[in-house]
Structure 1
């Protein structure tokens, strides 16, 4: 176990985590998409990508864009393990709500020691999902895979369980919480309104399920395990 003094810089960790996040969602990783995700200029993103490539953490793949190498993926999962365990601890032990933890974890993930991360994991019973349903990588970098589909892609009549919320926007998370739309809830697709309209769903156990018309941003943020 190391104390974290041999880690990469915080900016490098932020970039590989951002690239991993875009890859995880199946989105193209370009200097432009990275700049948007990290709220930096495209030129800054380009310069950092060059640095990452020089360190063997990313490579440019023709027609596919920027991809993490094996070393880059391992680093990203190490950062994600710290980030998601911190989020889990803040909710479980310190009374934070799921809309409050992302920014806190962003700050803490670069400074906590590996010993503290191990103690947090042990205290929480080695969880495999964080408060948003995101998978927590194991110490060896492995991840428990769960077959899911985005709510937006589910046909009318589908019944399933909400298992992940992709968006970290506090306002979106509060919107969901205020309507009891959370992890583990039963969800049924009632209707896809035409011309790019809302997805109408019933959430909660029948027959007391509540009906909601959810916009596309939310429909793209909820992952559902179907039954």
Structure 2
């Protein structure tokens, strides 16, 4: 059985591999920064994961999940995103609250409980932030990959997922009444700094920063 920390490392490596699709690997410093630990701490844990044949890793080299490590990472991610969905849909947690609680619940080991949870939720494909939920066999729905910042003036879209899931950004989206599925139209783009004027549903246009536009995945309509 894996420790909570080992599971957290596998999940983090899996997420980093999603970000680096062309090269599904990570460096020790990148891994440490992602988890908020010192490189030496990350190195010690990677050695343990290598001994368990969950990663391939050489000193100063890249880290890559083995097939077994990837399978374990996907199982943890599946639990996390199902629990987030449960908390959001059934217990009325806000989408900026679910992550921290799901971090605790994802370490429950009962596979039957997870399968029952998925069935209870009617087999959701995406969590409250729009992230794809792995199926029991490891397959995942495809995530929209267009960013709001890539749209041209006049284009219409729907919010598909949140790239930045920080509490501050999620709370800002709530303040703007933006959630998954919200309809946005690009009204104008400022050449100087890339900031955008957008219309949210039928509200009056408002200005958002380039950083904001680079933090939302959308689907063109």
Class of the TM-score when normalised by the shorter of the 2 chains:
0.7 to 0.9
Shift in Å at residue 156 of structure 1? Answer: 3.2
Find the residue that maps to 1:162 and give its secondary structure: strand
Tell me the residue number matched to 2:176: 179
CA gap 1:161/1:21 in 2 versus in 1, 3 angstroms? same
In the alignment, structure 1 residue 114 sits paired with structure 2 residue 111: yes
Per-residue deviation at 1:18? 0.9
Deviations 1:42-95 (A, max 9, x none): 11112222332333322359xx93232222221111001100110111111111
Q: Structure 1 residues 217 and 51 mapped into 2: Cα distance closer, same or farther (>3 Å)?
A: farther
User: In the alignment, which residue of structure 1 is the partner of 2:68?
Assistant: 71
Segments of 4+ moved more than 4 angstroms = none
Name which of structure 1's ranges 84-93 and 40-49 shifts more when overlaid on structure 2: 40-49
CA separation in 2, counterparts of 1:21 and 1:216? 24
Q: Which runs of 5+ in 2 are unaligned?
A: none
* Distance across 2 between alignment mates of 1:15 and 1:97: 26
CA drift at 1:195:
4.1
TM-score by length of 2: 0.88
Say which of 185, 208, 212 aligns to 1:214. 208
Say whether 1:162 aligns with 2:159.
yes
In 2, are the aligned partners of 1:159 and 1:188 still within 8 Å (CA)?
yes
Task: Quote the offset at 1:197 in angstroms.
Answer: 4.0
Aligned equivalents of 1:120, 1:164: Cα separation in 2 = 22
In 1, Cα distance between equivalents of 2:185 and 2:123? 31
Query: Matches of residues 1-227 of structure 1 in structure 2 within 5 Å?
Result: 7-26=1-20, 29-60=26-57, 65-111=62-108, 113-204=110-201, 208-227=202-221
C-alpha distance in 2, partners of 1:19/1:78? 13
Distance 1:67 1:212 in 2: 43
Change in 2 beyond 3 A, CA 1:65/1:211: farther
Q: Which shifted more, 76-85 or 140-149?
A: 140-149
The 3 A distance-change label for structure 1 pair 210 and 149 is same
- Offset at 1:112? 5.2
Runs of 5+ consecutive residues of structure 1 not aligned to the other structure: 1-6
SS of residue paired to 1:35: helix
User: Aligned residue pairs: how many?
Assistant: 217
Offset from partner CA, 1:184-206 (integer Å, 9 cap, x none): 111222333234442332221xx
Deviations 1:147-179 (A, max 9, x none): 431222333333221111122211210110111
TM-score if structure 1 supplies the norm length? 0.86
Tell me, in whole angstroms, the C-alpha distance in 1 between the residues paired with 2:193 and 2:54: 39
- After superposition, the CA RMSD in angstroms is 2.3
**Partner SS for 1:188:** strand
